[in-house]
Amino acid sequence: MSNLPADLKYTKTHEWVRDNGDGTVTVGITDHAQDALGDIVFVEVPENGRTVAAEEASAVVESVKAASDIYSPLAGEIVEGNAALADTPDAINTSPYEDGWIFRLTPADMGALAGLLDAAAYEQIVADES
């Protein structure tokens, strides 16, 4: 089974969310997602200050197999996109939960975070898919 840190929240569309404790969260894609996509060759991160709705397509990840939308797990305002991914898109493959983060946002309602999946529930979804 792929690596699923217990302190993160997850979505059924394979994003992870980390509560940074300062009113912002960080978003990326899971180890399972990067493995399924294969080698990432291009990432388009959202602009700072953009307001996104929950489940809105907010970034694009392109691998040798496919281009995939990344959905914002929560509604809020984008604080920062990971600019380093422009030169090192493969960070999503090698370090999906650390260097490979995609964007940070300030959620409109931090309480919505609790409504996302925990590691066990996400693991079950992945198991059902395969």
Partner 1 sequence: MLIQEQSRTGRRATAQAPLHSPEVADIPEGLRRRARPALPEVSEMQAVRHYTRLSQQNFSIDTHFYPLGSCTMKYNPRACNSLAMLPGFLGRHPLAPETHGQGLLACLFDLQEILKAVTGMHAVSLAPSAGAQGEFAGVAMIRAYHRARGDHARTEILVPDAAHGTNPASAVMCGFKVREIPTGSDGDVDLDALRAAVGPQTAGIMLTNPSTVGVFDRNIQAIAQAVHAAGGLLYYDGANLNAILGQVRPGDMGFDVIHMNLHKTFSTPHGGGGPGAGPVGVSKRLEPYLPVPLVAHEDAGYLWLTESDRPESIGRLTAFGGNMGILLRAYIYARLIGREGMGRVAEFATLNANYLLARLQEAGFEAAYPERRASHEFIVTLKREAREFGVNTMDFAKRLLDYGYHAPTTYFPLLVPECLLIEPTETESKEDLDGFVAAMTAIRHEAQETPEQVKGAPHSLPVRRLDDVRAARQLDLAWTPGASEDAHG
Nearest to 104 by CA among 13, 8, 18: 18
Shortest distance in whole angstroms from residue 97 CB to partner 1: 21
On the 0-12 / 13-18 / 19+ scale of CB atoms within 10 A, 115 is exposed
* Burial letters 77-101, b for 16+ CB under 10 A, else e: ebbebbeebeeebbbbbeebbeebb
Indicate the residue among 113 and 125 with the shorter CB distance to partner 1: 125
- Summarize as ranges the residues that interact with partner 1 (CB under 8 A): 36, 39, 41-42, 64-68, 89-90, 129-130
**Shortest distance, CB of residue 70 to partner 1, whole angstroms?**
14
Distance in Å, CB of 39 to partner 1, minimum: 4
Residue closer to partner 1, measured from CB, 25 or 31: 31
Nearer to partner 1, 57 or 110 (CB): 57
